[in-house]
Amino acid sequence: MERYAVDTALDLCGRLGILDLLDAPRSVEELCATRGFVPAFLRPLRWLLERLVAANLLARRDGRYQIARRPPEPALAALRAEGLAADPSYAPAYDLLDAAAALYPGVARGEVQAERALFLRARLWAAYFDNANGYYALTNRVAARAAAARLAGGQVLEVGAGLGSATVALLAELRARSTLERVTGYRATEPALFFRRHAQRTLSQAWPEVPLAVEALDISQPWAAQDIAPGTYALVWGVNVFHLARRLDDTLREARAALAPGGWLVVGEGMRPGPDVPVGAELPFQLLDSFHDVVLDPAARPTSGFLTAELWRDALRRAGFDEVALFPDVIELRESYPGFVAAAACGRRPQR
């Protein structure tokens, strides 16, 4: 998938007429002005260029980009075929990259509103955010194992439940451990009405034995004002949602306040391998304002989107969590695989 994202970025830069301009060093602003792109396209274009810098196809110096070596021809069809031969379940991940890439030229010219164009494709998202999609399901399953191992019983609060694939992963893991009956209440929250209705319908039908409620929650607003009673939950968790918090430290403190003493927070995320390293999973979301509507900090949160394992670890500690751990140990894993990995950052609310 990472290689496919690189070739997609290369293909887009060719179709946008960007590569033709990079025989000489040029800034993102100069490239946009020369091609007549709208100012809002500065951010997605910068991401495309940085992805090619990371692949050693472009060089960057003093904020200007230039071709480092003659780029190869994009091999999208061959890469997709090879990837699907290895695991056919990844098809929705390729489909999402392709759908987003098709929007880039229209967004660059100001002809397409990306947020609307992408989110109108309900079937695309339903297929992507599904445990049948091996690319996305991995983070669900890793986080579910981390959460199930820390849940002795009591009430569960899931944030950003989306269409319910992470919910299913946790309930299935608890059932496999014969601990599902210890859950006295499960509150799955999701701000988007379409996702919420879908999750309510499918989860209530598939898991009638679970005391389940599906409700709204905006994680960037005070939780108590949204009927999340402080000190209530044995587990607060979410998959690929906490990185969307506008003020991350504030949201983590809200999660801590919702937990009962001794309760656990489990944050399932794709872990960025380095603070400024672009990852392929971000390509579709570069077009979405909601992905970037976060407060940045040079030390604590230098980029929007995914964070590194170290940044998650430090953020949980700042929010007052004890026994902070990574599952698996991403920092140690990086010695063997220095790429984008699925993991969970876990922390416990102190007993006092």
pLDDT value of position 328: 96
Domain stops at, among 69, 92, 126: 126
Whether residue 147 is found in the same domain as residue 97: no
Closest-CA residue to 341 (of 281, 301, 265):
281
32-79 residue pLDDT tens: 999 999 999 999 999 999 999 999 999 999 999 999 888 899 999 999
Q: 20 Cβ partners below 8 Å, 6+ apart?
A: none
226-245 in b/e form (b: 16+ CB < 10 A) is eebeeebbbbbbbbbbbbbb
Task: Looking at the structure, tell me whether residues 246 and 318 fall in a common domain.
Answer: yes
The CATH number given to whatever domain includes residue 263 is 3.40.50.150
Do 280 and 227 sit in the same domain of this protein? yes
Could you tell me which residues are beta bridge partners of residue 65?
26, 60
Task: State whether 109 and 146 are in the same domain.
Answer: no
Pair 151, 122 in one domain: no
Q: What is the pLDDT of residues 322-335, one digit of tens each?
A: 999 999 999 999 99
The two three-digit tokens of residue 344, written as one number: 């969970």
Average pLDDT over residues 81-104: 97
* Mean pLDDT within 274-295: 92
Residues 278 and 184 in one domain: yes
Percent of the chain with pLDDT over 70: 100
Quick: pLDDT tens for 184-219.
999 999 999 989 999 999 999 999 999 999 999 999
294 and 155 in a common domain:
yes
Region 294-320: mean pLDDT is: 96
348 within 8 A of 272, measured Cβ to Cβ: no
Residue 121 has pLDDT above 90, yes or no: no
Domains: count for the chain:
2
pLDDT band at 345 (very low <50, low <70, confident <90, very high): very high
* pLDDT surpasses 90 at 115: no
State the pLDDT confidence band at 122, using cuts at 50, 70 and 90.
Answer: confident
Q: What is the mean pLDDT of the chain?
A: 96
Question: What does DSSP assign to residue 247?
Answer: S
Residues 119 and 209 in one domain: no
For 328, the token pair is 């698996």
CB-facing half-sphere around the CA of 51: CA atoms within 13 A: 25
Could you tell me the pLDDT band of residue 352, with boundaries at 50, 70 and 90? confident
Q: For residue 165, give the amino acid letter.
A: S
Question: Within this chain, do residues 101 and 142 fall inside the same structural domain, yes or no?
Answer: no
Please check whether residues 118 and 176 belong to one and the same domain. Answer: no
Please give the residue range of the domain that contains residue 6: 2-126
d(CA 266, CA 235): 8
Domain end position, chosen among 101, 126, 151: 126
In the chain, the DSSP E strands lie at 58-61, 64-67, 154-158, 183-189, 212-215, 233-239, 259-271, 322-327, 341-348
- Provide the token pair at 319: 């929010």
Residues 176, 46: one domain?
Answer: no
Residue entry with tokens 């902070």: 324
Q: Are residues 86 and 141 in the same domain?
A: no
Distance of CA 151 to the CA centre of its chain: 24
Reported as a single tens digit per residue, the pLDDT across 149-180 is 999 999 999 999 999 999 999 999 999 999 99
Q: Using CA atoms, how far apart are residues 292 and 114, in angstroms rounded to an integer?
A: 13
What does the DSSP 8-state code read for residue 233?
A: E
pLDDT > 90 fraction of the chain, expressed in percent and rounded: 94
8 has pLDDT over 90: yes
pLDDT at residue 279, rounded to an integer: 94
Q: Which contacts of 98-104 are long-range, i.e. CB under 8 A and separated by 24 or more positions?
A: 98/8, 99/124, 99/284, 100/283, 100/284, 100/287, 101/8, 101/11, 101/12, 101/283, 103/287, 104/12, 104/16, 104/44, 104/287
pLDDT tier for residue 119 given thresholds of 50, 70 and 90: confident
